[in-house]
Amino acid sequence: MIGEAVEEALANQVAVSLYAGRAAAQIGYNRYARRFTDAIVPWVNTLEARTESGKPLAVLFEHAAHPVTTIETESLSADFPAASVTRIREELGDDMLPLFVQGCSGNINAYPVGFSVDSGHHDNAERAGRTLGEAALTALRNGVEIAASTFRVTSMSLDLPCNLPSMPMWEEMVARLMRHPPETPLLNGTTDGWTRTLEATRQMIEGGEQPHTRFEASLVSLGDEWCLLALPGEIFSEYELWVEEAAPFTHKMVIAYTNDNSVEYIPTDRALTLGAEDPVKAERECMEATAWPGFFYGVEVKGAYLPYACGIEVQIRGALAGLWEEARDGPS
């Protein structure tokens, strides 16, 4: 099936020009307490392919917002991206191929989240999606042709350290669980699940281990005019905002949930610091950033579920900066 699709694509390939665009867009909100994070990514990015005759052939459009307006419905739904695709095709034709990719939306939900309303879920998805689709059309109208003659693909990986508790902190977590068993610990956790992760964590502490997980990123670039940065997991929106400021490319597009989603949520150092200072408060305000003995959304490492250590943002920024410097200096 895949081979046949590749053959068909090769047989039907045509010459195209690429156009990069951006327009203001906001269909979501930051779902955490302001002291942890209040950032959003207020735009939609587009990369359009046009034939030699100027006909729009396909568009890749990116925005940062969880598609969760239909999360409580019993039916399958493509949520707001479906309505965005419909709006784009209304303007440019049904043979136009719009492809939605998710930005750094680890802390961004589309509005309103399905579980916050009693009805109208699909209408809400339609409204949000058409708003985003209209913004994407604006970006397409204002698109700038990419004239770069070099095409590069680079990648990198690094180990992100986890926050392994001390034995007294581990014992405090055990005591807290015995006093107040949570209804839904560890997202989909159970009492047995907590027992297993605590035992695995105890073994790591006694063994003096330094648990970590692997973070992988890729960069596709066209000269210094355009880049596509692919990041793993549910990464907080502040990372995309930083890339916009720091990356040495005229047009930038950042997508998350790529490479390996086992890294789970990637908070900022600021959020992780606040989470470590007051874990119990953090579990109510930004569960992805809290630490022992708070209940947290962390990452699974060798059978244990652990939060990240503060300092991962500095690591990630440094590695990404090296990635695009390599792309600019390396062979085409």
Mean per-residue pLDDT, 177-188: 57
184 and 128 in a common domain: no
171 and 315 in a common domain: yes
Among the candidates 128, 145, 162, a domain finishes at 145
Q: Is-contact 185 295, C-beta < 8 A? A: yes
299 and 255 in a common domain: yes
Q: Is-contact 264 299, C-beta < 8 A? A: yes
293 — pLDDT class (breaks 50, 70, 90): confident
Among the candidates 119, 145, 171, a domain finishes at 145
- Our count of domains for the chain comes to 2
Q: What is the pLDDT of residue 188?
A: 45
- Domain of residue 120, residue span: 2-145
331 — pLDDT class (breaks 50, 70, 90): low
165 and 250 in a common domain: yes
> In whole angstroms, what is the distance from residue 328 CA to residue 332 CA?
9
Q: Tell me: the pLDDT tens digits for 128-175? A: 999 999 999 999 999 999 999 999 999 999 999 999 999 999 999 888
Among the candidates 145, 175, 204, a domain finishes at 145
173 and 119 in a common domain: no
Please check the confidence at residue 189 and state whether its pLDDT lies above 60.
no
- If you average pLDDT over every residue of the chain, what do you get? 91
135 and 175 in a common domain: no
- Predicted structure pTM score: 0.93
If one counts every other C-beta atom within 10 angstroms of the C-beta of residue 284, the result is: 12
179 and 63 in a common domain: no
Mean per-residue pLDDT, 315-322: 98
173 and 141 in a common domain: no
Point out the least confidently predicted range of 40-49, 191-200, 265-274: 191-200
Q: What is the pLDDT of residue 182?
A: 54
Listed in order, strand segments (DSSP E) in 80-235 are 97-102, 108-110, 144-145, 151-161, 212-222, 226-230, 234-235
170 and 140 in a common domain: no
Q: Tell me: the pLDDT tens digits for 203-256? A: 999 999 999 999 999 999 999 999 999 999 999 999 999 999 999 999 999 999
189 and 41 in a common domain: no
- Which of 250, 232, 278, 215 lies closest to 144 in space, CA to CA? 250
167 and 123 in a common domain: no
